[in-house]
Amino acid sequence: MSPQHSAVLPSDEELARGLADGDESCLTAAYQRWSALVHALAWRSLGDAREAEDVTQQVFLGVWRGRRTFRPERGTIGGWIVGITRRKIADALSARTRRVALVTAAGSALALADPAARHPEAVLDRVLVGRELARLPGPQQRVLRLAFYEDLTQTQIAEHTGWPLGTVKSHSRRGLHQLRRCLRQQDV
């Protein structure tokens, strides 16, 4: 590294202070300093360059979001970033395991389905949505199941449940927002 470059890059302590203060140039410097290491760790653990790139982005997003949680008395900023990397790699491996389980479940559902229904994407979508729907609070789950599986309107759901129409609409809206949020987190 030329002397000119070493003068421009801040020390680890300056980087930590700058990050805590919200200085975006310190995030850039941290990325320049540690992204190759983060990517290499992710690539070795995951064996997939695209996933390693995703993890690298997630790590530095985590660095930015968690910048105020770094404690120099607990270790170096580089060590902190490696710790974030390990957690993001573990998350990626867990997500991979969930995807494999969902694809297996979708394959099983497809095998049991009508032979004319040869749309694995639709089966996988149903499995994913069904799983997330089961995680919703009871009233939201009930309203959405009545709407989508029994094809009832909100007015009919209100009559069926005895709930006010406004309550049905609120449960429907909250349930759909929660489903959207969960499915986006899983990149579905």
In 10 A of CB 31, how many CB atoms? 18
Query: Which pLDDT tens digit goes with each residue over 151-186?
Result: 888 899 999 999 999 999 999 889 888 888 877 776
Domain 135-185 sits in CATH 3.30.930.10:
no
**pLDDT surpasses 80 at 105:** no
Choice between 51 and 150, residue whose per-residue pLDDT is larger: 51
Its pTM surpasses 0.85? no
CATH number at 3-97? 1.10.1740.10
Share of the chain above pLDDT 90, in %: 41
* Domain definitions of the chain by residue range: 3-97, 135-185
Which residues, 6+ apart, have CB-to-CB distance to 165 below 8 Å? 154, 155, 158
Which residues, 6+ apart, have CB-to-CB distance to 69 below 8 Å? none
Q: Give residue 52's pLDDT.
A: 94
Average pLDDT over the chain, rounded to whole? Answer: 83
**pLDDT surpasses 90 at 30:** yes
